[in-house]
């Protein structure tokens, strides 16, 4: 009976994990990475915490794995979790609840995908290796009813040679290898009767069993497991976790990743050395695969980054790997940064830095939940950290959002490429504002800080954070583009029309004139009439300004800007923020020219403005919107007016204390419907 | 010296000239109140800062509600057997910035004395980064009764009002949910659903300026929760539109932070704060008003005012009256055909007076009936608050007496109504008066003799054109409904 064991096709996109470890919402170990259909597919084992209650006899804090997920990615950065492909209690030959779905592999041959996985067989002890097949790399997979005969062990790896012949390697009393039949499910060759002694600490008696294949020759002494074989050029590589250290005197050295090379797929092998040294923090296991993707070789391996208390809960990491001219492998140093390019607009876990100055350290944000990730502390002025490969092509008018904490007011910079590089943003951190009205002590608390970019790198750059004052700790950052409020200038010779709802979007705006207004409660009719009647600059009521033309108002020199608003409302606050000297306490002057083919009688100028405003059509007062206004469509209208044939000049002034100044202006007919049969020049 | 004098004068002045009735009894001092939440028979509302106020009976309020996290303008919603609290942790331009965060947390109870009282750790569901036209503050919750989906709106004058979807099981943001801008030009929004329409209520005008605050609540509606929310003249709230629901009046100003509470079918109230209650020194207080509906639009009803009224049954339009002899009035009648009669000056006819008829009335219990309203003394009822008797959501209990007497309307053990010669303060002589969503009223005795507990079911009911009784309230029947008319 063939049984489809697909239990879940839950797709989950995991974004922006262009750092190690690559999967952060669950544990993943023993990664086998394969390239199918121009995508990277990742087949890891799936470490979990023990079920509660744990099955009888389950060893505490030991390896615990119930199923397999498969993940895919096109850029090694954004991973999709395709969900569970095989689960222990639905495999016909697997002992239920044995939680021993260890390191798998998956290969393609002749239109089918073959998934190899070890587990404890029913009623038995030790491990057998089973096969499941599928038409697609993410399944659904169908399990064979029995495991492969003659294979007793773990960590299967299959190599399909250029001639189509497949070989299987596994770990069981040393590392063994054998030919596979063309059905990929049976060993091709004789079985050997192998005697095994009674092992210390194991109740099973000594005996013998029929075993396929043969022991790989030429490998170094010491504990080995997890074979991964691949071919590059005319070299075969057999790579494996290996304990090279001295195990005498009760020491417990941990695994390296090591390799041997041969000109033939089943050896004999010549030992070449180390691919990756022992993990610095004593994570006992390592387990890996090597894969070439888009011209670059990558080493997939694992580490217990998300579970420091228990090294049997591991997470997959990736680093680049390269070869010497003679085919030997250059040793890989594990990094936090990992591989892949981040888009600047992704949330980037900046603490996974590439390099840093002495004294810079990382800690878990929450030591009780490593899945929440880490943060990085820059201890003093001059300390820095560098995070490689962020793509800024998507940033045009950007700002940075960064999560940081500090114990005292401080300052840090985000720079390009090195600690003395160009400043993208200078972030001032005020954790305690002595003068603040709403004083609040934020020392030692996470703050999300936002700062506009002074400079935007071109293309891919390395991001450096430098501490410019006292200690600061940062967690993540991301860059965002500011919304577009205006097209900065327009071709004055091409007239515009009002928008669909009749709003006039094309204006000449004067940079704001400073006004000492802290609150709009002063906006009475009398006060406003006086304010609007004042002369702020020469020819205030007659000027037909040109883009860039400057006027003097008191101490201020202010420029006119020809702008086309992206919105129906003209966001004066954003105009002020970009081109003005202040955003609050401002008086804005606006001019536009309306061209009519004929007289349009009985129209009303309809205005909404934040705050108060006054309007003139062809030099005549049309409307005063008094009081503390918010911008509302058609908030106030003028008496009936005539837009005369030819050129009409519409002029206005908006005054505001605090608040998000804006205005929306259109003409409406006697029933309140928008008037649109005119064009707008503004210059 | 001068100050003292002025204060003294103003106290005297207010006592002389203005109704001393306050918006709510006790200590209803709050700013930015959450929608009222019921827990074990008590109502809670939480405000800016951290605390909140509680009422045991719906009328008298006291402090003591607890909410950690500080920040501003929370909302509370009971989902299943837990309470979801949402609030803005920062933002609102406090300290100058517009970096805001909206957080949610759960509690099994709102009663700080309960052993189950424990908030879960607050989680962030939305934020504004300080550079957008947005400030994540002032959240309001809606559990859509048609879909079970949970929504929150938030934002202030600094940019847009946004809509997000939350998971009603976890209170967290639904994965992949993108915020949607649904309004500008308001703050302190709340969403409600009624009869196929979603309503977005926002607070417009100026906040936090005491007796000069022009805060008011406006509404737009949409067939979809995601908008567009359109006002009564077709204007999008995204363009600043909005139809008034409540503004200043009755010596309170600056209503803001709408919340809707459904008490019964056709019995709804809205909660808000008034920026200033002129009768309470201009302090910011909780306001509760009937919520009325007309042509699919909500508006605030008036607080019930004491006074002398006809109590008119909505069954046929007859008036509630004592079952006494009809005393005819004498009138000198002018004949149209007699010339000298036409020459006589027109003299107004005086109303029939209580003293003209009271001697004809029995002195003991007098039953009541409904009949043609003729503005006679046996049809004129004076309604007076009895503050010491407590109250319910929106009002204190009232006594209903024949104008000029202490003869009081009372419920009887046989679930009928009668009048007793003297109001004694007994519970069956106390009445709960609530305005219904269509503008009429229901009138319920506080207790019915022989029945346990506070009556929440039986109301004054027209069982026949002429016969009032007590029967189960039914919003679908005009027999349950009454009007108070002063004419």
Q: Does residue A417 form part of some domain? A: yes
Q: Could you say which of A450, A520, A635 has the minimum Cβ distance to residue B99?
A: A450
Q: How far is B95 from chain A (nearest CA, A)?
A: 5
What is the structure's pLDDT at B329?
94
**Searching chain A, which residue's CA lies closest to the CA of residue B135?**
A660
Inter-chain residue contact B95 with A436, CB threshold 8 Å: yes
Chain B neighbors of A631, CB-CB under 8 A: 184-185, 240
What is the structure's pLDDT at A6?
40
pLDDT band at A205 (very low <50, low <70, confident <90, very high): low
Q: Please check whether residue A11 touches B, CB under 8 A.
A: no
Residue A141: pLDDT over 70: yes
Taking only the tens place, the pLDDT of each residue in A604-637 is 999 999 999 999 999 999 999 998 889 999 999 9
Pair (A461, A575) in one structural domain: no
Average pLDDT over residues A629-656: 95
Would you tell me how many other CB atoms lie within 10 Å of the CB of residue B29? 17
Number of H helices, E strands in chain B: 3, 35
Taking only the tens place, the pLDDT of each residue in A27-58 is 999 999 999 999 999 999 999 999 988 888 88
Inter-chain residue contact B94 with A632, CB threshold 8 Å: no
What is the structure's pLDDT at A198?
65
Provide the 3-class DSSP secondary structure of residue B343. helix
pLDDT band at B6 (very low <50, low <70, confident <90, very high): very low
Backbone angles phi, psi at B265, to 5 degrees: -60, 125
pLDDT band at B331 (very low <50, low <70, confident <90, very high): confident
Chain B residues within 8 angstroms (CB to CB) of chain A: 93-96, 99, 101, 127, 129-133, 157-159, 184-185, 204, 206, 209, 212, 214, 235-236, 239-241
Taking only the tens place, the pLDDT of each residue in A222-274 is 999 999 999 999 999 999 999 998 877 778 899 999 999 999 999 899 999 99
What is the structure's pLDDT at B16?
35
Is the CB of residue B379 less than 8 Å from the CB of residue B373? yes
Best probe of the B interface among A660, A661, A663, A672, by most B CBs < 10 A, is A660
Q: Is CATH 2.60.40.10 the classification given to domain B23-300?
A: no
Q: Which range among A74-78, A421-425, B235-239 shows the weakest confidence by mean pLDDT?
A: A74-78
Q: Does residue A334 form part of some domain? A: no
**Searching chain A, which residue's CA lies closest to the CA of residue B233?**
A672
Cβ-count burial of A676 within 10 angstroms (0-12 exposed, 13-18 middle, 19+ buried)?
middle
Q: How far is A304 from chain B (nearest CA, A)?
A: 27
Q: Does residue A333 form part of some domain? A: no
Residue B21: pLDDT over 70: no
Edge-first strand order for the sheet with B197-204 is B187-194, B197-204, B216-222, B243-246
Chain B neighbors of A608, CB-CB under 8 A: 239-240
Average pLDDT over residues B147-159: 95
Average pLDDT over residues B462-466: 96
**Searching chain A, which residue's CA lies closest to the CA of residue B186?**
A630
Kind plus residue range of the DSSP H or E element containing A600:
strand A600-610
pLDDT band at A13 (very low <50, low <70, confident <90, very high): low
Residue B111: pLDDT over 70: yes
Provide the 3-class DSSP secondary structure of residue A521. helix
DSSP secondary structure letter of residue A397: S
The catalytically annotated residue of A67, A144, A155, A225 is: A225
Residue A200: pLDDT over 90: no
Best probe of the A interface among B184, B204, B214, B243, by most A CBs < 10 A, is B184
Chain B neighbors of A450, CB-CB under 8 A: 99, 129-131
Inter-chain residue contact B129 with A450, CB threshold 8 Å: yes
Residues A41-80: b if buried by 16+ CB within 10 A, e if exposed: bbbbbbbeeeeeeeeeeeeeeebbbbbbbbbbbeebbbbb
Average pLDDT over residues A61-78: 93
DSSP secondary structure letter of residue B128: E
Final residue of a domain: which of A481, A496, A524? Answer: A481
**How many angstroms from the chain centroid is the CA of residue A72?**
16
Average pLDDT over residues A345-366: 92
Q: Please check whether residue A205 touches B, CB under 8 A.
A: no
> Can you name the residues that pair with A121 across neighbouring β-strands?
A94
Inter-chain residue contact B101 with A448, CB threshold 8 Å: yes
Pair (A125, A67) in one structural domain: yes
Pair (A500, A473) in one structural domain: no
Domain ranges of chain B: 23-300, 307-324+337-485
CA distance linking residue B184 with residue B245, whole number of Å: 17
Is the CB of residue A130 less than 8 Å from the CB of residue A148? yes
Residue B371: pLDDT over 70: yes
Is the CB of residue A302 less than 8 Å from the CB of residue A311? no
- Is A577 a residue of the active site? no
Percent of the residues in chain B that have a pLDDT greater than 70, as a whole number: 94
Pair (A501, A624) in one structural domain: yes
Chain B neighbors of A520, CB-CB under 8 A: 206
Best probe of the A interface among B240, B241, B243, by most A CBs < 10 A, is B240
Q: Could you say which of A436, A448, A608 has the minimum Cβ distance to residue B127?
A: A448
Pair (A257, A181) in one structural domain: yes
CA distance linking residue B227 with residue B229, whole number of Å: 5
Pair (A144, A245) in one structural domain: yes
Pair (A48, A85) in one structural domain: yes
How far lies B327's CA from each of A298, B258, B319, B348, B403, in Å? 107, 50, 16, 19, 17
Chain A neighbors of B96, CB-CB under 8 A: 436
Inter-chain residue contact B131 with A482, CB threshold 8 Å: yes
Residue B8: pLDDT over 50: no
Q: Please check whether residue A522 touches B, CB under 8 A.
A: no
Taking only the tens place, the pLDDT of each residue in A527-576 is 999 999 999 999 999 999 999 999 999 999 999 999 999 999 999 999 99
Q: Does residue A336 form part of some domain? A: no
Pair (A536, A474) in one structural domain: no
Chain B neighbors of A635, CB-CB under 8 A: 240
Q: Please check whether residue A440 touches B, CB under 8 A.
A: yes
Inter-chain residue contact B235 with A633, CB threshold 8 Å: yes
Q: Does residue A551 form part of some domain? A: yes
- Is A30 a residue of the active site? yes
Domain boundaries B307-324+337-485, corresponding CATH code: 2.80.10.50
Would you tell me how many other CB atoms lie within 10 Å of the CB of residue A391? 16
CA distance linking residue A666 with residue A505, whole number of Å: 9
User: What ipTM did this prediction achieve?
Assistant: 0.83
What is the structure's pLDDT at A9?
45
Q: How far is A533 from chain B (nearest CA, A)?
A: 26
Final residue of a domain: which of A481, A515, A544? Answer: A481
What is the structure's pLDDT at A483?
87
Q: Does residue A224 form part of some domain? A: yes
| CATH code of A195's domain | 2.115.10.20
Backbone angles phi, psi at A564, to 5 degrees: -120, 120
CB pairs under 8 A between A and B: 64
The catalytically annotated residue of A30, A81, A346, A475 is: A30
CA distance linking residue A27 with residue A23, whole number of Å: 7
**Searching chain B, which residue's CA lies closest to the CA of residue A452?**
B131
Kind plus residue range of the DSSP H or E element containing A157:
strand A154-160
Taking only the tens place, the pLDDT of each residue in B258-278 is 999 999 999 999 999 999 999
DSSP secondary structure letter of residue A323: B
Residue A492: pLDDT over 80: no
pLDDT band at A367 (very low <50, low <70, confident <90, very high): confident
Pair (A549, A672) in one structural domain: yes
What is the structure's pLDDT at B17?
34
Q: Could you say which of B94, B212, B240 has the minimum Cβ distance to residue A630?
A: B240
Inter-chain residue contact A448 with B131, CB threshold 8 Å: no
Residue A3: pLDDT over 70: no
Residue A38 sits in which domain range?
A: 3-321
CA distance linking residue B386 with residue B363, whole number of Å: 24
Residue B13: pLDDT over 50: no
Pair (A213, A282) in one structural domain: yes
What is the structure's pLDDT at A576?
95
What is the structure's pLDDT at A366?
86
pLDDT band at A2 (very low <50, low <70, confident <90, very high): very low
Taking only the tens place, the pLDDT of each residue in B43-82 is 999 999 889 999 999 999 999 999 998 888 999 999 999 9
Inter-chain residue contact B209 with A521, CB threshold 8 Å: yes
Pair (A537, A626) in one structural domain: yes
DSSP secondary structure letter of residue B173: B
Q: Please check whether residue A503 touches B, CB under 8 A.
A: no
Pair (A307, A199) in one structural domain: yes
Residue A437: pLDDT over 60: no
Inter-chain residue contact A450 with B184, CB threshold 8 Å: no
Number of domains in chain A: 3
What is the structure's pLDDT at A172?
87
Q: Which residues contact B30 (CB under 8 A, 6 or more apart)?
A: B45, B47, B52, B53, B273, B284, B285, B286
Chain B neighbors of A433, CB-CB under 8 A: 95
What's the distance, Cα to Cα, between the start and end of chain A in Å?
82
Final residue of a domain: which of A481, A509, A543? Answer: A481
Cβ-count burial of B343 within 10 angstroms (0-12 exposed, 13-18 middle, 19+ buried)?
exposed
Q: Could you say which of B206, B214, B241 has the minimum Cβ distance to residue A633?
A: B241
């Amino acid at each position: 009976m063939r049984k489809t064991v697909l239990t879940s096709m839950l797709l989950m996109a995991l974004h922006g994990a262009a750092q190690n470890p690559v999967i952060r919402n669950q544990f993943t170990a023993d990664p086998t990475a394969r390239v199918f259909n121009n995508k990277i597919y990742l087949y890891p084992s799936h470490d979990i915490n023990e079920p509660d209650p744990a099955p009888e006899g389950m060893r505490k804090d030991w390896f615990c794995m119930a199923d397999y997920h498969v993940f895919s990615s096109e850029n090694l950065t954004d991973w999709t979790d395709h969900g569970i492909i095989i689960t222990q209690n639905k495999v016909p030959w697997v002992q239920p609840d044995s939680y021993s779905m260890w390191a798998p592999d998956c290969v393609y041959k002749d239109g089918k995908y073959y998934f190899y996985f070890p587990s404890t067989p029913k009623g038995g002890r030790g491990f057998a290796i089973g096969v499941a097949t599928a038409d697609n790399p993410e399944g659904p997979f169908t399990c064979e009813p029995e495991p492969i005969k003659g294979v007793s062990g773990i960590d299967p790896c299959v190599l399909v040679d250029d001639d189509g012949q497949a070989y299987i390697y596994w770990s069981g009393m040393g590392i063994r290898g054998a030919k596979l039949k063309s059905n990929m499910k049976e060993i091709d060759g004789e079985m050997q009767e192998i005697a095994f002694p009674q092992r210390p600490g194991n109740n099973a008696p000594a005996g013998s069993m029929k075993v396929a294949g043969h022991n790989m020759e030429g490998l170094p002494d010491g504990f080995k497991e997890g074979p991964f074989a691949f071919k590059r050029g005319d070299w075969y590589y057999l790579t494996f976790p290996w304990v090279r250290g001295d195990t005498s005197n009760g020491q417990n050295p941990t695994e390296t990743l090591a390799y041997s090379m041969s000109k033939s797929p089943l050896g004999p092998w010549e030992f070449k050395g180390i691919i990756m040294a022992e993990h610095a923090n004593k994570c006992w296991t390592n387990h890996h695969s090597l894969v070439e993707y888009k011209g670059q070789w990558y080493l997939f391996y694992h580490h217990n980054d998300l579970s420091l208390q228990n090294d049997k809960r591991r997470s997959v990491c990736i680093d680049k790997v390269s070869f010497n001219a003679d085919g030997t492998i250059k040793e890989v140093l594990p990094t936090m940064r990992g591989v892949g390019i981040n888009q600047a607009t992704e949330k980037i876990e900046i603490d996974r830095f590439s390099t840093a100055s002495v004294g810079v350290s990382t800690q878990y944000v929450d030591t009780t939940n490593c899945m929440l990730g880490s943060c990085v502390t820059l201890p003093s002025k001059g300390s820095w950290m560098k995070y490689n490969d962020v793509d800024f092509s998507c940033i045009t008018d950007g700002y940075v959002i960064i999560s940081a904490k500090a114990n005292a007011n401080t300052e840090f910079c985000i720079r390009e490429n090195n600690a003395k590089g160009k400043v993208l943003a200078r972030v001032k951190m005020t954790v305690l504002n002595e003068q603040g009205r709403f004083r609040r002590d934020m020392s030692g608390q996470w703050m999300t800080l936002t700062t506009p970019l002074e400079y935007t790198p071109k293309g891919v750059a390395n991001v450096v954070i430098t501490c410019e004052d006292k200690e600061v700790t940062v967690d993540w950052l991301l860059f965002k583009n500011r919304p577009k409020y205006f097209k900065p200038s327009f071709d004055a010779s091409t007239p515009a029309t009002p928008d669909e709802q009749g709003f006039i979007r094309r204006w000449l705006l004067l940079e704001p004139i400073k006004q000492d207004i802290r609150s709009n409660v002063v906006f009475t009719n009398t006060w406003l009439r006086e304010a609007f009647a004042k002369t702020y600059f020469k020819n205030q009521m007659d000027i037909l300004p040109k883009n860039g033309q400057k006027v003097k108002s008191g101490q201020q020199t202010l420029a006119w800007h020809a702008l086309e608003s992206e919105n129906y409302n003209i966001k004066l606050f954003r105009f002020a923020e970009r081109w003005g000297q202040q955003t609050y306490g401002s008086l804005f002057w606006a001019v536009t020219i309306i061209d009519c083919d004929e007289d349009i009688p009985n129209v009303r100028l309809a205005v909404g403005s934040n705050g108060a405003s006054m309007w003139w059509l062809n030099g005549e007062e049309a409307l005063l919107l008094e009081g503390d206004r918010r911008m509302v469509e058609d908030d106030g209208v003028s008496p009936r007016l005539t837009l005369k044939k030819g050129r009409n000049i519409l002029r206005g002034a908006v005054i505001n204390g605090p608040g998000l100044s804006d205005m929306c202006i259109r003409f409406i007919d006697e029933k309140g419907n928008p008037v649109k049969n005119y064009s707008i020049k503004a210059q | 010296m001068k100050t003292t004098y002025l204060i003294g004068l103003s106290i005297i002045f207010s006592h002389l000239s203005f109704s001393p009735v306050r918006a709510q009894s006790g200590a209803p001092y709050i700013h930015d109140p959450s929608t009222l939440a019921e827990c074990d028979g008590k109502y809670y509302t939480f405000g800016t800062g951290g605390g909140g106020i509680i009422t045991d009976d719906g009328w008298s309020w006291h402090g003591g509600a607890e909410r950690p996290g500080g920040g501003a303008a929370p909302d509370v919603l009971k989902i299943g057997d837990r309470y979801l609290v949402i609030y803005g942790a920062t933002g609102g331009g406090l300290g100058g910035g517009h970096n805001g965060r909206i957080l949610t947390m759960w509690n099994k109870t709102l009663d700080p004395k309960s052993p189950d009282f424990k908030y879960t750790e607050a989680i962030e569901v939305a934020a504004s980064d300080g550079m957008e036209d947005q400030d994540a503050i002032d959240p309001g919750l809606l559990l859509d009764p048609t879909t079970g989906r949970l929504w929150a709106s938030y934002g202030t004058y600094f940019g847009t009002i946004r809509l997000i979807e939350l998971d009603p099981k976890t209170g967290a943001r639904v994965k992949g949910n993108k915020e949607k801008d649904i309004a500008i030009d308001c703050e302190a929004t709340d969403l409600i659903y009624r009869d196929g329409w979603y309503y977005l209520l926002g607070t417009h005008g100026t906040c936090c300026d005491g007796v000069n605050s022009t805060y008011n609540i406006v509404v737009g509606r949409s067939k979809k929760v995601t908008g567009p929310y359109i006002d009564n003249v077709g204007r999008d709230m995204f363009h600043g539109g909005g139809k008034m629901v409540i503004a200043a009046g009755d010596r309170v100003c600056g209503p803001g932070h709408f919340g809707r509470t459904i008490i019964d079918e056709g019995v709804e109230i809205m909660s808000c704060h008034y920026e200033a209650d002129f009768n309470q020194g201009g302090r910011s207080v909780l306001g509760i008003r009937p919520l009325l509906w007309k042509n699919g639009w909500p508006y605030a009803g008036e607080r019930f005012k004491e006074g002398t009224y006809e109590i008119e049954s909505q069954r046929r339009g007859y008036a509630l009256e004592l079952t006494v002899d009809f005393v005819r009035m004498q009138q000198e009648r002018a004949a149209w055909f007699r010339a000298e009669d036409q020459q006589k000056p027109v003299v107004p006819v005086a109303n029939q007076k209580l003293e003209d008829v009271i001697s004809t009335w029995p002195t003991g219990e007098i039953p009541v009936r409904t009949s043609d309203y003729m503005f006679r003394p046996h049809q004129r009822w004076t309604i007076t608050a009895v503050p010491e008797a407590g109250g319910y959501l929106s009002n204190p209990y009232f006594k209903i007496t024949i104008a000029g007497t202490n003869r009081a309307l009372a419920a009887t053990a046989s679930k009928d109504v009668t009048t007793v010669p003297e109001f004694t303060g007994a519970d069956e002589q106390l009445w709960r008066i609530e305005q219904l969503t269509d503008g009429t009223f229901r009138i319920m005795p506080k207790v019915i003799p022989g029945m346990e507990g506070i009556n929440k079911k039986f109301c004054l009911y027209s069982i026949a054109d002429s016969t009032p009784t007590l029967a189960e309230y039914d919003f679908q029947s005009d027999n349950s409904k009454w009007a108070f008319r002063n004419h």
